Structure 1
C-alpha cells in the first residue's frame, strides 16, 4: 500500500452499521412468506451485492420468484428499523471530520436509502451531495469496478491514487479490479483467501488516517 489522494467509502457496514438490519429484514419477510430457513442459511454471505441479486437467488432456491412487491416490503421494513436503531460505524463521524483528502461514498444501495442512513447517523452533513454515488444511478453493481471508476473520475483522481474502504467481498473485488488501494474494515464475513494479501486490513476506521 502507498499513500493516496482520495478516499472512496462504501456505505453499508463501512460508514453505517446497517448490514445486520438489512439482512434481518430480508430474512424476516422471507420467512413470513414461508421460505424455508435452510434457504436463508448463508444470507450473510450475500452481503454487499445488489438487493435484486439476493432476492433472485432466494427465488431460485424456492423454485419460484418472490412476489413483485417483496423488495418494496423489505425496504419499508428496513427504513422503519433504521429510524429506530441505526448507528454510525464506530469512528465514522470522527474520521470524516478529520479527513483532509477528497472523499465520497460509492454504494450498491439506492441513493434514497443511502441518504436516509447517512442522515439518521449524522453523517450526511459531512458529505457533499455530489459525492454520493449509487450503483442504481450508474447502472452497474459491484463487483464490477465501473462504480468505483466513475467515482474516481468525479473526484478527478487517478484510480491507483484512490483508497477504497470496504467490508464485503464484492466491494473488495470491485476495488481491486479498478486498480485501487483497497482497505478492508474488519467484518464477520471472511474474505476469500486469495484476496487477503491484496488488501490492507483495518481493525478500526481511524487506522485509515495512518495510511494517508
Structure 2
C-alpha cells in the first residue's frame, strides 16, 4: 500500500450493506428440505454463504445425488422475495459508515443485478451506489475467484493494489486476496471472525469502525 492510501472501497452487498444473509439462510434451509436434501443452517453458513452459484449448485447436487433440473429454482423465488420484503433491513452501522466515508465506493457481489437493485432500493441504499453496482453476472466466474472485484476496479479506474474490499464471507475474503486487494472482514454477521482472518485481512465487528480502519490501514 502506498502512502497515498486507498483509491476505492468495494462493498459486498448481502451481509455487508443489507442484512439479508440471516433471512436467506433460513429460506435456504426450507428450500433444501423441500428439494429433499436437508442442510442445517450451520452447514449453510459454513459451506454456502457468500459462494458463487456454481459452488452452491454443486453442493446441493452432491447432497441430492443427482443434477438439478433446469428451472428448478423458479417456484422458490417468491419464498425469498416474501421473506426479504417482510424483514430486510440495512446492516447495523452501515449508514453511519457510508456517511463518514470520503473515498469513492462501489458494490461488487455474487448476487444478481435484479436482486441487488431490489434489496438496495428497499433499504434506501440504491441511490448511494447507482451506476456503480457490479455482479458476478458481469463476469465469467463468481467469488471466490477475483473476477468481479477486478472488473469493478477496472471499470472504476482504480489500481487493484489500492482497493479495499469489505466482505462478510470467507469466499469473499479469498476473492479479495486473489485480486491483490486489501480485505476487511466484517464479523458482525453470520461468519465467525476466525474464518475471515488471514494474511493482511483486517477483521472487525462494528461497521461504524470502518472509516477509521480504512484510514489506519492506508
CA distance in 1, matches of 2:56, 2:18: 20
Alignment of 1:65-80 (within 5 A): 65-80=67-82
Secondary structure, counterpart of 2:73 in structure 1: helix
TM-score by length of 2: 0.87
Question: How many pairs align?
Answer: 210
Aligned-residue offset at 1:172: 0.4
Cα shift readout 1:2-57 (whole Å, capped 9, x = no counterpart): 7312100000111111111112222112212333457x761112110123431331
The structure 1 residue matched to 2:88, chosen from 77, 86, 89, is 86
TM-score, normalised relative to structure 1: 0.90
Match of 2:20 in 1: 18
Matched, 1:116 2:118: yes
Unpaired runs of 5+ residues, structure 2, are: none
1:10-159 superposed matches below 5 A: 10-37=12-39, 42-45=43-46, 46-129=48-131, 131-159=132-160
Distance in 2 (CA, whole Å) between partners of 1:13 and 1:194 is 13
Runs of 4+ in structure 1 deviating by more than 6 angstroms, as ranges, are: none
The alpha-carbon deviation at position 100 of structure 1 amounts to 1.6
- Matching of residue 168 in structure 1 with residue 169 in structure 2: yes
- The corresponding residue for 1:5 is 7
Between the aligned partners of 1:193 and 1:117, the Cα distance in structure 2 is 26
RMSD: 2.1
* Separation in structure 2 between the aligned mates of residue 18 and residue 31 of structure 1, nearest angstrom: 20
In the alignment, the residues of structure 2 paired with residue 194 and residue 20 of structure 1 have an alpha-carbon distance, to the nearest angstrom, of: 17
Partner SS, residue 196 of structure 1: coil
Greater CA drift, 147-156 or 71-80: 71-80
- The DSSP-based 3-state class of the residue aligned with 1:70 is coil
Cα offsets for 1:104-124 (capped at 9, x unmatched): 000001000011110111111
Change (3 A) 1:55 1:76: farther
Structure 1 residue runs without a partner (length 5+): none
Is residue 196 of structure 1 aligned with residue 192 of structure 2?
Answer: no
